[in-house]
Amino acid sequence: MSEHGDSRPQWVTDALLIGGALLATYAVFTVFGLVLGLDVNGIVSTLQRVTFFAAVYALLALALNLHWGYTGLFNIGVAGFMAVGVYAMGLLSSAEQGFGLPLWIGVVGGMIAAALVGLLAALPALRLRADYFAIVTLGLSEIIRRALLSSSLREFEIGGQSLGTGGGSGIGFPATEGVVDYVLYAGAERGGDPALLGSLLFPLAETVGIQPSVVRSSVYTALLVVFVIAFYLVLSRIGASPFGRVLKGIREDEVAARSLGKHTNTAKIKVFMLGCALMGLAGMLWQGSRGTVTPSQFMPIVTFYVFVALIVGGSGSNAGSIVGGLVFAAALWEGPPFVRRIIRANMDVSTPTTIYDALLPLADLDVLPLVGYLVGSLDEIRFMIVGIVLVVLMLWRPDGLLGHRKEIAAATDLSRPSRRAGREGVEEGGDP
């Protein structure tokens, strides 16, 4: 353990780890793509999708890591806080169903709204035991979803302004993906004349055969990656600070932390609100990217996806959250459809409507219908795998693959300052 303070900085280790995982993922998908005979545009588009989902799950896992990994707050209402963020943004910035304010005000407002709903949940719920806290947060996220779905909020008026969640058909608003048009096109008009970054990228893309729409998505995905880096930096700073130390203290033994004079309730409320705001932001960047959203995008299952991502990577570690997001997106989200495409492209499989029709031909040793059925039921299989992964992790690796909750929480090098000057070559810690 004594190497801890002296080895290369945490962020370098993390960057190498994440970069390595990303490159490996890209390599696998590129091979898949080549097997499928995709052209450059197809492969880039595939990598863009993988990166997009890796980024959004990383954002959510990072936010959840602040709650669960650092502070031990068992929040399983992630989907609800995302919904609050996206809908608040929608109501603020939608011209038809909301106030029609600029998008950035909507984004800020969405984060504030998510934080406030977090406060509402946190104030009374923080003294509950972890399992009750879980049920309350899940209940809250379902209350939010059902309220958004309800016909009574479909349209309403505040101060003469007509607003509405749109019930089941959802709400439309300026897409967050649209922000990339500011750097790609003159006048920020999609499909207009390329400008700024656009005038650089589009011709370049054209020469290797990448379509403008893929370029646009890729630029937005790059923006998400920037957000992932920003989340990582902010959260790592929080983690490596006296505040982060208090959070760890709460997780490890709240009674002891309180007996040392730490006002844990305040810290928990702050950190819960911040995490909720980040979940709201992640929701806006993800579900808000297309400019329309419905309550069905915020089913509780989304929360469990995020949990899988976090637990796969290892709760308590920011780098683990990002790698977890990547593994989840690549292996469980984007991987299976790819496998399906490869199978369908290479095998002459039909898709029987029921498992009965798929199993019957087995009597004649014909496995193709079964393969076809399984390939056709990929979504169900994917959910099953997510469940099995959770169970297996709890049985074998409850701390996750990279899991450790032991990142040091301090704002500075922990070797003894007065001895640091002459540290070279001196055995650390065990001074006589």
Partner 1 sequence: MSTVDLGGGISRLTSERTVRALVVVAAVVLALDLVRRIYTGSLTLGTLGFYLWNGIVDGLVFGLAGIGLSMTYSILRFANFSHGDLLTTGAFSGWTVAYLIAGAGIADTSSRLLLRADGGAPPGQLDLQILGEPIAILAGLVVAALLTVLIALAIDRVVYRPLRDAGGIPLLIASVGVALALRYFIALVYTSQNRAVTASSPEWSSPVFFWTEGVNVHELTMVVSATVLMVGIHLLLQYTKLGTSMRAMADNRDLALITGIPTERVVRATWMIGAGLAGVAGYLIVLDRGTITINLGWFLLLLIFAAVILGGIGSIYGAIVGALIIGLTINVSLVWIPSDMNEIAAFGLMILVLLVRPQGLFGGVETA
Partner 2 sequence: MSETSEAPAEQRDAGEALLAVENLRKTFGGIVAVDDASFSVERGTITGLIGPNGAGKSTTFDCITGVYTPDAGTVTFDGEEITGRSPPAIADRGLVRTFQIAREFPEMTVLENVLLAPKDQLGESLWRSVAPIARREVVEQEEELVEQAWETLEFFEIDHLAREYAGTLSGGQRKLLELARALQTEPSMLLLDEPMAGVNPSLEKKLLERVHDLQERGYTFLIVEHDMDVIMNHCERVIVMHQGSVLAEGEPAAIKEDERVIEAYLGGEN
Binding residue (CB under 8 A) for partner 1 from 105, 233, 260, 388 = 388
Residue with structure tokens 């609050």? 84
Tokens of residue 10, six digits: 């945490």
**Footprint on residues 326-385 left by partner 1 (CB under 8 A):** 353-357, 374, 377, 380-381, 383-384
DSSP class per residue in 5-68: TTSS-HHHHHHHHHHHHHHHHHHHHHHHHHHHT--HHHHHHHHHHHHHHHHHHHHHHHHHIIII
Out of 12, 196, 260, 394, which residue is the one contacting partner 2 (CB under 8 A)?
A: 260
| Residue 246 in the binding site for partner 1 (CB under 8 A) | no
Q: What angle do CA 67, 57, 306 make, to 5 degrees?
A: 50
CA pair distance 282, 270, nearest whole angstrom: 18
Residue 404 binds partner 1, judged by CB under 8 A: no
Q: How far is the CB of 14 from partner 1 (least distance, A)?
A: 25
Sign of CA pseudo-dihedral 264, 266, 267, 268:
positive
Binding to partner 2 by residue 311, rule CB under 8 A? Answer: no
Binds 70: which of partner 1, partner 2, none (CB < 5-8 Å by kind): none
Residues 213-242 interacting with partner 2 (rule: CB under 8 A): 234, 237-238, 241-242
Which is closer to partner 1, CB of 109 or CB of 335? 335
| Region 50-89 residues binding partner 1, contact defined as CB under 8 A | 74
- Applying CB under 8 A, among 15, 188, 254, 361 the residue interacting with partner 1 is 254
Residue 56 CB, shortest distance to partner 2, in Å, is 22
Q: Which does 5 bind (CB under 5 to 8 A by kind): partner 2, partner 1, none?
A: partner 2
The answer to whether 90 contacts partner 2 (rule: CB under 8 A) is no
Give residue 375's Cα distance to chain centre: 27
- Residue 410 Cβ vs partner 2, minimum distance, rounded to whole Å: 6
Nearer to partner 1, 100 or 164 (CB): 164
Assess contact for 76 and 63: CB atoms under 8 A: no
Handedness of CA 204, 207, 208, 209 (dihedral sign): positive
d(CA 247, CA 72): 8
* The one among 389, 401, 408, 410 contacting partner 1 by CB under 8 A: 389
**Percent helix, strand and coil across the chain, each to the nearest 5:** 70, 5, 25
**Angle at CA 386, nearest 5°, toward 373 and 61?**
140
Q: How far is the CB of 300 from partner 1 (least distance, A)?
A: 8
In the complex, minimum distance from the CB of residue 35 to partner 1, in angstroms, rounded to a whole number: 26
CA dist 225 and 321 (Å) reads 14
Binding status of residue 274 toward partner 2 by CB under 8 A: yes
Question: Residues 115 to 134: which contact partner 1 by CB under 8 A?
Answer: 124-132, 134
The pair of structure tokens assigned to 23 is 């490159």
Return phi, psi of residue 21, to 5°: -60, -40
Residue tagged 């006296």 (tokens): 242
Task: Decide if 413 contacts 325 (C-beta within 8 A).
Answer: no
Beta bridge partners of 158: 161
Q: Which does 389 bind (CB under 5 to 8 A by kind): partner 2, partner 1, none?
A: partner 1
Binding test (CB under 8 A) with partner 2, winner from 10, 368, 408, 423: 408
Residue 268 binds partner 2 (CB under 8 A): no
Q: Which of 22, 13, 61 is nearest to 282 (CA)?
A: 61
Residue 416 contact, options partner 2, partner 1, none, Cβ 5-8 Å cut-off depending on partner type: partner 2
Tokens encoding 7: 């080895």
243 binds, among partner 1, partner 2, none (CB under 5 to 8 A by kind): partner 2
Which of partner 2, partner 1, none does residue 131 bind (CB under 5 to 8 Å by kind)? partner 1
The one-letter amino acid code at 176 reads: T
Closer to partner 2 by Cβ: residue 290 or 404? 404
Residue closer to partner 2 by CB (options 364, 427) is 427
* 126 is a site residue for partner 2 (CB under 8 A): no
Residue identified by tokens 């992932």 is 228
State the DSSP H helix or E strand holding residue 172, giving kind and residue range, or none if neither. strand 171-172
In the three-class reduction of DSSP (H, G, I as helix; E, B as strand; rest coil), residue 181 is classed as helix
* One-character DSSP codes across 327-354: HIIIIIIIHHHHHHHHHHHHS-----SS
| Binding partner of residue 241 among partner 1, partner 2, none, CB cut-off 5 to 8 Å per kind | partner 2
* Binding site residues, partner 2, CB under 8 A: 1-2, 4-5, 234, 237-238, 241-246, 248-249, 252-253, 255-264, 267, 270-271, 274, 405-406, 408-414, 416-418, 428-431
* Binding site residues, partner 1, CB under 8 A: 74, 124-132, 134-136, 138-140, 142-143, 146-147, 149-152, 254-255, 258, 264-265, 301, 304, 307, 311, 353-357, 374, 377, 380-381, 383-384, 386-392, 394-395, 398
